[in-house]
Structure 1
Amino acid sequence: MAVSALTSPNNTKQGFRAIGCGMFLSTIASIFINVGLSGKTRPGKYFSPLFPIEVKNVHMGKHGSDSGIYDSEGRFVPEKFEEIFTKHARTHHGALTSDELMTMLRANRESNDFKGWVASFAEWKMLYYLCKDMHGLLHRETIKAAYDGTLFHRLEKERRLAFEAKNVI
């Protein structure tokens, strides 16, 4: 799916459907994401009840209580990425369990930053839900792919290939 200058809740929902999420989860996620990011990515612009996200400004949607992997200008910080695993991956060197993920989220919380807590929880639990392996592990390579954007293309391709294989005559 091509990225446009503005992303509507419907585009977001279609993206979630493309990577294999159900209709209910895709709808809720698209509302949560677009309502949360629209005003932040469109500074100085009039309010829009359509809640578009201005993609070129998505770095402005950075919230508190996050991992710090992106800096305030949207640049990837490799040291912060590695810190996830040096501090929190106790069971397996290059992967997080659900409990380790929750420990990381608690460690990243900023005082009285309830919106940031909710945003971080939703982002990481969605990633865990979609990408954990059969042993309940969220691997380093998967997390890295989420940050560099390749994960979503891979998930869409895997879903499409599975659908095509199921529908072979």
Structure 2
Amino acid sequence: MLNMSSCRFVPQKFEEIFIKHAKTRPDGLTYLEVEDMILANRDPLDPASWEGPQIEWGGIYNVASDNDGFLHKDDARGIYDGSVFVKLEEKRAFSHHSAM
């Protein structure tokens, strides 16, 4: 995903997440699949590092998952380029407008 030595998005690493962990649908992760991904990438010798990915991916899932419980690949990618926030604002504005 991000190459920390140069702080850039690595598409191949991002795609690997969905290839390895998206079992229910190839284009989306369920909450349990996100949890499995976090556990699979956890360093068992460094418990101090366990909380960060849990908070990051848990937050991404909470913000960007759909009503069926899937975090879609495009929405997860949109976290990195900011496009998901525009989409979420449009959805919020539509919900607010239709509730009136």
Q: Give TM-score scaled by structure 1 length.
A: 0.53
Aligned to 2:39: 106
Which sections of structure 2, spanning at least 5 residues, go unmatched? Answer: none
Check conservation: 2:64, 2:84, Cα contact below 8 A.
no
After TM superposition, give the deviation of residue 102 of structure 1 in Å.
0.9
State the Cα deviation string for residues 126-149 of structure 1 (Å, max 9, x = none).
Answer: 221222223221111111111211
Superposition RMSD in Å: 1.7
Distance 1:98 1:115, change over 3 A: same
State the Cα deviation string for residues 87-142 of structure 1 (Å, max 9, x = none).
Answer: 11111111111111111001111234334321111111122122222322111111
Deviation above 4 Å: which 4+ runs of structure 1?
none
Distance in 1 between residues matched to 2:95 and 2:57, nearest whole Å: 25
After TM superposition, give the deviation of residue 79 of structure 1 in Å.
0.6
Between structure 1 and structure 2, the one with the greater Rg is: 1
Q: Give TM-score scaled by structure 2 length.
A: 0.84
Distance in 2 between residues matched to 1:160 and 1:112, nearest whole Å: 45
Q: Residues 72-87 of structure 1: matches in 2 within 5 Å?
A: 72=4, 73-87=6-20
